[in-house]
Structure 1
């Protein structure tokens, strides 16, 4: 039986979020194409895919990337997923491709003919997985050797998730003439042979999701709202976040990340009860995220922008060391300098200002944003840890509406 939810303030599950300048750093991908999907097998080996036939592979955690050519330069590769150290699946058009050598070489394991594109893929393991798009849904239980059609009603598919125990969740919306839509969430416990409706939402669509297969579930509604279930999808409550939601990634039932359209990433460590707001400072809308554990992960979006964290986006050390109002803006020399691997940068702010403190490498590429927020008058000290960077000359730059200055520092390992 379908269940409908009335969106009202009475149902609102109040959550809180706090601001924290996060420790994300930019990785150079060598492309300006939009990245749509990320998957890593471990801290070193990963693949990103996207528009214009984009497929890049790294074996050093994203420090450098090698193009992989599969002969589809003019199309969109919508998704990619590692299932073990050697096995990777990806989708483009109505095709499914597979690699058995960690993404170096690929072969087609499903070649569609109906013209409906696959947009989402989700695998529970090497053998069992699903691929879906509007008008097209397939499932395999033998590693892509054969595929069966999955049947369910709905005008448009917007999300897919397969749990480790191979339960399949599909979300989307159905048009109801003349002006209405109904979002729906379906579940199959028999590899897509049949589906039951878990929930329906009037006048909204349902998109990206995560289920732990036991208790917790999270789903995005209409790209704007995040909802949580604590009974495996039987009922749902909204979580309050600011900004349209682009993607979510949960490491487990309670530790997860949510990206929005405001250059913002939210993190929860308590099952959505509260969120910490992280601002990477790249002015990018992050379309895709992937984490190998709570601490190490990547987020990507337009123009080939890719950022990485190795400490869960934890707060960068920023302390106010004096509340006395300075006469002028200033940026001091970092100390120690040279340094290995940590250094401190002191600066002064004479009035309330939006302050950015950015680290650049010798090529002028931004590698880290230490500060990107409004600060009260005072003298501050920011910490930078260069553990994940190579030795060399770096520049740090303070930017406000009234003051800009750049200084040089040397990381010597």
Structure 2
């Protein structure tokens, strides 16, 4: 009788263990596919990440030490990142839009919008308004793009970012 009870307990324990493992292992295996490819300098944060294809991507961070090296580019799927000079210190970029691996827009605090036509070798400020934080940027065609910011700011360009106009949003704060 005791051996029958022990066998029943063992069988139930075995089945319970199998059920638990079937729920835990697939998740553990999925997480095991992640690995760190880049580590920021202490005190630096990553705010935006965008890939054009499997290899070419950009990310931006902020480093409050007077550095202008706050945009990063990869050409090998994130295995290596090269710091790029934005020309701006203590700049926090919040969004990236990649139209082509060489044509990239980035926006952030102090109302800055930057553009590169040469894969980040040179970044040019195409808009600046110190009173707003720009949160997102999206192009719907090679010429036409929009940016959204604090206090209801919405802006539009129809000439590849050369000029930006403010659109009414109905939001004041």
TM-score, reference length from structure 1: 0.31
In the alignment, which residue of structure 1 is the partner of 2:137? 209
Q: What's the secondary structure of 2:160's corresponding residue?
A: coil
| Count of equivalent residues | 140
Contact kept? 2:136, 2:147, Cα under 8 Å: yes
What pairs up with 1:273-352 in 2 under 5 angstroms?
none
In the alignment, which residue of structure 2 is the partner of 1:326? none
Q: Quick check: 1:170 aligned with 2:111?
A: no
Sort the Cα spacing of 1:69 and 1:199 in 2 relative to 1 into closer, same or farther, 3 A. farther
Q: Aligned-pair distance for 1:202?
A: 4.3
- The two structures, once aligned, show a CA RMSD in angstroms of 2.8
Sort the Cα spacing of 1:240 and 1:137 in 2 relative to 1 into closer, same or farther, 3 A. same
| 1:229 aligned to which of 157, 161, 165 | 157
| 1:144 aligned to which of 78, 95, 98 | 78
What pairs up with 1:374-413 in 2 under 5 angstroms?
none
Higher normalized contact order (CA 8 Å, seq sep 6+, divided by chain length): 1
Question: CA deviation digits over 1:185-236, x for unaligned, max 9?
Answer: 1111222222011112242232211124611110113252111111111112
Sort the Cα spacing of 1:171 and 1:160 in 2 relative to 1 into closer, same or farther, 3 A. same
Contact kept? 2:47, 2:60, Cα under 8 Å: yes
Q: Aligned-pair distance for 1:157?
A: 1.7
Matches of 1:217 and 1:154 in 2, distance apart? 26
Sort the Cα spacing of 1:104 and 1:239 in 2 relative to 1 into closer, same or farther, 3 A. farther
Matches of 2:60 and 2:27 in 1, distance apart? 24
Sort the Cα spacing of 1:215 and 1:124 in 2 relative to 1 into closer, same or farther, 3 A. same
Contact kept? 1:157, 1:170, Cα under 8 Å: no
TM-score, reference length from structure 2: 0.68
Contact kept? 1:207, 1:223, Cα under 8 Å: no
Which has the larger helix fraction? 2
Q: Aligned-pair distance for 1:123?
A: 0.8
Q: Which has the larger radius of gyration?
A: 2
| 1:197 aligned to which of 125, 128, 141 | 125
Sort the Cα spacing of 1:189 and 1:213 in 2 relative to 1 into closer, same or farther, 3 A. farther
In the alignment, which residue of structure 1 is the partner of 2:23? none
Sort the Cα spacing of 1:209 and 1:162 in 2 relative to 1 into closer, same or farther, 3 A. closer
Sort the Cα spacing of 1:144 and 1:239 in 2 relative to 1 into closer, same or farther, 3 A. same
Contact kept? 1:171, 1:206, Cα under 8 Å: yes
Gaps of 5+ in 1: 1-66, 71-100, 174-181, 246-413
Gaps of 5+ in 2: 1-25, 64-69
Contact kept? 2:60, 2:93, Cα under 8 Å: no
Q: Quick check: 1:155 aligned with 2:90?
A: yes
Matches of 1:154 and 1:207 in 2, distance apart? 18
Which has the larger strand fraction? 1
Q: Aligned-pair distance for 1:244?
A: 6.9
Sort the Cα spacing of 1:155 and 1:222 in 2 relative to 1 into closer, same or farther, 3 A. farther
Matches of 2:43 and 2:28 in 1, distance apart? 23
